[in-house]
Structure 1
């Protein structure tokens, strides 16, 4: 009898242990606070696909970008002493006028309310530009706007990759072209402080650097060119434009 009771106790202990280990597995999917649960809780159905909280935040951020970058661009055209800054201002005006038309149309279709004023931080940037003059103004203009575009660039990539809504996906594609064009012309002014941008990003990262070892001064072996094997006749062509330029030619927005 003692042997049987001992065996029963062992079996009971094993059952409890397995149950304890299994509980987090089967219960996790139903727990609130998980990524998938949060995604579904924050999403609404539309005829163009689910509209998530991240999608709606992106739509608002596209609108906000235009609300401060358009007047910043106009100020640059009117005040900047150099041709490069004036050209960057022109790109901001043209790009965000077009993008604002697109985002207003999409927001109306999806029922997303849009702001009519820049954020407090964006208004502060505009005041900072207004108070600056000469060389200081040009540096502030190039760097404030380059940093702002760099931050939204990563959000565009995330939304373009993950959205389930076709209207938001198209807006992300359009915004990507506009932002990349603006980044390119801002860098073309010669005033962007790349060290400051890199150091700021590095200061917020906790991951260790990865990649190949640093160059040792010797010329590395040339890699083989990548290409198809056999006789393949492609019909597409590489994107037009010289290196470092961005093709912003795209269809009219569909309202």
Structure 2
């Protein structure tokens, strides 16, 4: 048999082997499931008496602690030197809210054996330096926007943890943190210095999905019918207390 014919046959066989392997790989990899979200969740979780503690849960505890380590001194600085009442009030809410959250996160971390940092991150220290070096209206704008953006970032993590955690201690902390962060966002926005265009553009710059939703309005739409129960239904619960635009921050004492 000519050598050329042998080489051609070998190439065909090799190509078939590669093709079959490529077709079989997805089936094998799916069966193995290593590297999938479920495998990562299981690998990063540890058992506790309050339920599994995931890597995201631990990240959340660390970020709550870090938030307090720079936002509390930022709030104290605002109370001491801000030229307007609105900034001082926002600073007061930061002090009270993060003093409370810090006590809670330290108690929970001790129960779950999670190590917490004792210094703000390098980026957070940079933000504090920016505030210290600013004055007048520049200071007020930096204070409102640096803290509003930071609270917005942790707000999304709180929602993720509150939705998915299997640990009851972490779930309660997420509920408490949600109230505190929403209160701080409300107070910061009340200063009148928050640049909402900058926040929206910053979020859009890091978004990966295309926007979805109803098309832009082209006139006055028909008024929707009110939503409500049918029949004779008498509810016993009531909407959360508090005037529109305010946040109820009352909560039980932390369980240590």
Length-normalised TM-score, structure 2: 0.90
Q: In the TM superposition, what whole-angstrom CA distance separates every residue of 1:127-177 from its partner, at most 9, and x where no partner exists? A: 000000000000000000000000000000011111111111111111000
Question: Residues 64 and 7 from structure 1, CA distance in 2 versus in 1: closer, same or farther, beyond 3 angstroms?
Answer: closer
Q: In the TM superposition, what whole-angstrom CA distance separates every residue of 1:64-105 from its partner, at most 9, and x where no partner exists? A: 000000000000000000000000000000000000000000
Q: Distance in 1 between matches of 2:166 and 2:11?
A: 52
Bigger Cα displacement from structure 2, 200-209 vs 53-62: 200-209
Of 85, 108, 115, 2:117 maps to 115
Q: In the TM superposition, what whole-angstrom CA distance separates every residue of 1:99-120 from its partner, at most 9, and x where no partner exists? A: 0000000000000011110000
Q: Distance in 1 between matches of 2:224 and 2:10?
A: 67
Q: In the TM superposition, what whole-angstrom CA distance separates every residue of 1:4-53 from its partner, at most 9, and x where no partner exists? A: 99999999999999997565235424242111111111111000011111
Bigger Cα displacement from structure 2, 122-131 vs 8-17: 8-17
Structure 2: segments with no counterpart, 5+ residues: none
Question: Residues 6 and 197 from structure 1, CA distance in 2 versus in 1: closer, same or farther, beyond 3 angstroms?
Answer: closer
Question: Residues 239 and 4 from structure 1, CA distance in 2 versus in 1: closer, same or farther, beyond 3 angstroms?
Answer: farther
Question: Residues 202 and 16 from structure 1, CA distance in 2 versus in 1: closer, same or farther, beyond 3 angstroms?
Answer: closer
Question: Residues 204 and 10 from structure 1, CA distance in 2 versus in 1: closer, same or farther, beyond 3 angstroms?
Answer: closer
Q: Distance in 1 between matches of 2:88 and 2:59?
A: 31
Structure 1: segments with no counterpart, 5+ residues: none
Question: Residues 76 and 17 from structure 1, CA distance in 2 versus in 1: closer, same or farther, beyond 3 angstroms?
Answer: same
Question: Residues 93 and 17 from structure 1, CA distance in 2 versus in 1: closer, same or farther, beyond 3 angstroms?
Answer: same
Q: CA RMSD in A?
A: 3.5
Matched, 1:4 2:10: no
Question: Residues 11 and 222 from structure 1, CA distance in 2 versus in 1: closer, same or farther, beyond 3 angstroms?
Answer: farther
Count the aligned residue pairs.
251
Q: Distance in 2 between matches of 1:8 and 1:120?
A: 60
Question: Residues 140 and 4 from structure 1, CA distance in 2 versus in 1: closer, same or farther, beyond 3 angstroms?
Answer: closer
Length-normalised TM-score, structure 1: 0.90
